[in-house]
């Protein structure tokens, strides 16, 4: 998911070879993810069912939907557009199934689930908006545009409700430094993918001009301002966690929750600047894309070194 969106962000910088290399890596990683998911469902159905019943784990499965949608959008415009259509269908089919599991979990024990609300809950929105992004990559049509707008609005509502639940949890049960993990960066990533989906809808010729178009454009602008405002807050939280409270910056899979929002924000900003013809903002898109690439490289390096250290320790 993170690799695919960083690849997309680099397309506007002229680094086409690097972008294609990362796209190939994203396709390979997706294949591994898909195979692992199918294997788990076939060989360990009880374990998968247990995860889907666990409010702390079910949201993580929306990364499969998001990865499918993001990769579908990336492939739609090229020779692999049929594969993109298949991935779109898969994402659109899996999202409501996972959403039903979330609803069931909340109905079973709403209070306990609310007390564990964290940044992973925003993956519900990320997954839905990834479907919108993939859908807008298909051939323009009144029906697909209407469905895209409907899903986009639903995603905005989901984000708002999720944000309220997480803010309430943070105020009532604030996590300590060790538990304030990078997953809270998805707060910004969910907004960024909503911006990207909104700008892709704005660019479609069959979106009605006038008040509907202006309302969508104004909403996207407000969301971009909100996403931008979240960045210094999240950076300050990282300083608070790692410098003030000295939580070690060791590798953890949650670090990819920083890379994905960074890449998505760069991509969404570039698209927003192009659609709204904002030249001053467009000049910042290349630095944002390279910053996301640097984040990807840093996390990947941390992952490799941690694996080498683990292998060395096991060998000893």
Q: Report the C-alpha gap between 203 and 187 in whole angstroms.
A: 25
Q: Report the C-alpha gap between 154 and 157 in whole angstroms.
A: 5
Per-residue pLDDT band at 313 (split at 50, 70, 90): low
Q: Report the C-alpha gap between 137 and 125 in whole angstroms.
A: 19
Share above pLDDT 70 across residues of the chain, in percent, rounded to a whole number: 97
**How many other C-beta atoms lie within 10 A of the C-beta of residue 7?**
27
Q: Name the DSSP letter for residue 15.
A: -
pLDDT at 31: 93
pLDDT digits (tens, 9 = 90+) for 4-34: 899 999 988 889 999 999 999 999 999 998 9
Given the structure tokens 């007390």, which residue do they identify?
115
Question: Looking at the predicted structure, is the pLDDT value of residue 316 above 50?
Answer: no
Q: Which of 250, 255, 237 is nearest to 305 (CA)?
A: 250
Domains of the chain: 2-304 (1.50.10.150)
Asked if 87 contacts 134 with a C-beta cutoff of 8 angstroms, the reply is yes
Q: How far apart are the first and last CA of the chain?
A: 35
Low-confidence winner among 130-134, 185-189, 306-310 (lowest mean pLDDT): 306-310
Predicted TM-score (pTM) of the model is 0.94
Question: Looking at the predicted structure, is the pLDDT value of residue 94 above 60?
Answer: yes
pLDDT digits (tens, 9 = 90+) for 103-159: 998 888 777 777 788 999 999 999 999 999 999 887 778 888 899 999 999 999 999
Question: Looking at the predicted structure, is the pLDDT value of residue 80 above 80?
Answer: no
């Amino acid at each position: 998911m993170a690799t695919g969106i960083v690849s997309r962000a680099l397309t506007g910088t002229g680094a086409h070879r690097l972008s294609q290399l990362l796209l190939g890596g994203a396709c390979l990683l997706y294949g591994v993810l898909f195979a692992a998911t199918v294997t788990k469902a076939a060989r360990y159905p009880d374990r998968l069912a247990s995860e889907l019943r666990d409010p702390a784990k079910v949201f993580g499965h929306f990364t499969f939907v998001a990865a499918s949608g993001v990769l579908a959008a990336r492939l739609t415009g090229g020779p692999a557009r049929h594969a993109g259509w298949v991935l779109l269908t898969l994402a659109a089919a899996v999202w409501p199934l996972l959403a039903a599991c979330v609803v069931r979990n909340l109905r079973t024990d709403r209070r306990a689930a609310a007390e564990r609300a964290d940044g992973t809950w925003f993956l519900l929105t990320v997954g839905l908006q990834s479907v919108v992004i993939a859908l807008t990559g298909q051939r323009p049509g009144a029906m697909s545009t209407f469905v895209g707008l409907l899903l986009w609005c639903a995603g905005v509502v989901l984000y708002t409700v999720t944000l309220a639940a997480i803010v309430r949890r943070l105020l009532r049960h604030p996590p300590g430094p060790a538990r304030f993990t990078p997953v809270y960066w998805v707060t910004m990533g969910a907004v960024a993918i909503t911006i990207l989906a909104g700008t892709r809808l704005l660019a479609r010729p069959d979106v009605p001009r006038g008040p509907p178009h202006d309302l969508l454009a104004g909403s996207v602008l407000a969301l971009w301002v909100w996403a931008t405002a979240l960045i210094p807050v999240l950076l300050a939280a990282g300083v608070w966690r790692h410098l003030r409270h000295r939580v070690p910056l060791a590798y953890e899979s949650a670090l990819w929750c920083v890379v994905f929002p960074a890449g998505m924000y760069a991509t969404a900003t570039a698209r927003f600047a192009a659609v709204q013809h904002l030249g001053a903002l467009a000049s910042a898109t290349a630095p944002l894309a390279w910053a996301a690439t640097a984040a990807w490289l840093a996390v990947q390096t941390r992952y490799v070194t941690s694996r080498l250290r683990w292998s060395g320790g096991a060998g000893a």
